[in-house]
Amino acid sequence: MELYNTCTRRHFLKSSLTAGIVLPTVLGMLPNPVGGRAMAQSETGVAKEWLELAARLGEPTGKFGRIGDPVTLTVGYQPYCTPYWTSTVNKQVELWAKYLPKGSRVLWFRALSGPLINNNMNAGINQFGYMAETPALKSGDLVACDMVAATGYDSGETGAIVVRNNLLDAGKVTSPMDLKGKPFGTPFGSYSHRQLLTWAEQNGVTLEMRDRSIELQMGQLKQDILWGGTLWEPYPSWMEYRKLAKRWVTGLEMPCTCSTTNKDAVQHTFRVVGATLALRDWLRERPDILAGYLKSEEESRDLLTHNPDLAAYHIWSDIPEVPPSVIRSSLDMMIWDGRMTPEVRAHIKGCARMWRTIGQLKNDRTRNPDTYVDEWTQGGFLDLAIKELQSEGRWTSASQPGFPKLLRDEQQKRHDWSRYADIQVHKVSWSPTRM
């Protein structure tokens, strides 16, 4: 079930503006998520290791019912952002229904960026949320939530600095210094903002950065108001498809933020790690729900890894205005590995140090960015889910090469939507991969 099941971004944007009023009203009309009064926690149906991990967050109160009770979850996701397409696949294929208690429901809250999801998580409306590691760090600074898995990581290509075609064609932009003092759009607080700040510092260029949403950037580039913008896939490729702007710099062509902010990190090109966030209350009270949801995410990563054409169909069915060729090309830029390895944490620490320095992180929880990241990234839950799936002979993220390694040699080069210009995506049957 989807709360805002629209096909156009215009309607989507209109709905999002009123979400702060509509969503609580709609949820208020739903039955109690756990079907009645609070009940004592039970150990039935979940391994003791899950209970032990949850107990580190405090004593359960029965706030969300007994283990094994059906629930109604609301999940905030971003259908127009490639690194979090695990959520779109999970939603469209309804993989979650295989793993959550019978009778459970999931309501999907669509957002174009993280702030609306942050607000809903802060209000307890969204129990799970998806965003990049950079805005997710701020979520943990503001909301009692933790990162329970990575959605995956990119090859460096999903983030791009774009410049208008007419400026490039006229030879007005040939080097970084040609952009000195020029207006560039980026959503402040996003991983695109981190990329633009990182690139400007690396090239010694001061830009006129303007806080602009993805949609507003596209409009102002078309109107020749902005010289360029910083966007995430599938938008940069979609803009090339529409002959509006070109990807002037991608993450493949620049060092990552942590190359200067965390010398202990493995050196790599500019990367983004997607984040799955969960409210701490739910981690403490219902580890069985987390177990099921994380397993459904692992199956999403399985499908994305082993049948990207089918994944492209399901993503396109959720955002049909984006050409299938653009979606399929964007999928080639990802490695779907949910594990929070030491290398992932080192990268996130570099991001957290930058965010703390520029004031994006400013509360007590993030006073020491390194300590914050170690405490905030709750990777043990996914490790348990992987262990249980492996015992059933199932594929898991453990088969992936591990951040920041690439899955295929061709991921070292730029991808182009024209490679899939003639693609026809179709719905076919799916079965999890056996090992």
Residues 400 and 280 in one domain: yes
Q: Nearest CA to 9 among 120, 136, 110, 142? A: 110
Check: CB of residue 198 under 8 Å from CB of residue 254: yes
In a domain, 425, yes or no: no
Residue 370 covered by a domain: yes
Range of the domain at 229: 159-261
Q: Would you say residue 266 lies in a domain?
A: no
pLDDT tens digit at each of 435 positions of the chain: 444 343 344 443 443 433 333 333 333 333 333 333 333 333 457 899 999 999 999 999 999 999 999 999 999 999 999 999 999 999 999 999 999 999 999 999 999 888 789 888 988 899 999 999 999 999 999 999 999 999 999 999 999 999 999 999 999 999 999 999 999 999 999 999 999 999 999 999 999 999 999 889 989 999 999 999 999 999 999 999 999 999 999 999 999 999 999 999 999 999 999 999 999 999 999 999 999 999 999 999 999 999 999 999 999 999 999 999 999 999 999 999 999 999 999 999 999 999 999 999 999 999 999 999 999 999 999 999 999 999 999 999 999 999 999 999 999 999 999 999 999 999 999 999 999
Residue 234: asked if its preceding bond is cis (omega within 30°), the reply is yes
Q: Report yes or no on 306 lying in a domain.
A: yes
CB 212 within 8 A of CB 185: yes
Q: How many domains, the chain?
A: 2
Whether 149 and 185 share a structural domain? no
Residues 6+ apart with CB under 8 A from 418: 325
Tell me the DSSP string of 59-119: ----TT--TT---EEEEEE-TT-GGGHHHHHHHHHTGGGGTSPTT-EEEEEE-SSHHHHHH
Instruction: Name residues whose C-beta falls within 8 Å of residue 305's C-beta, 6 or more positions apart in sequence.
Output: 336, 395, 400, 407
Q: What is the pTM of this model?
A: 0.89
Chosen domain end from 215, 242, 261? 261
pLDDT of residue 387: 98
One domain, residues 304 and 356: yes
CATH of the domain at 192: 3.40.190.10
Interatomic CA distance for residues 333 and 325, integer angstroms = 13
Q: Residue 122 has what pLDDT?
A: 87
Q: Which pLDDT belongs to residue 44?
A: 54
Same domain, 316 and 257: no
d(CA 110, CA 199): 30
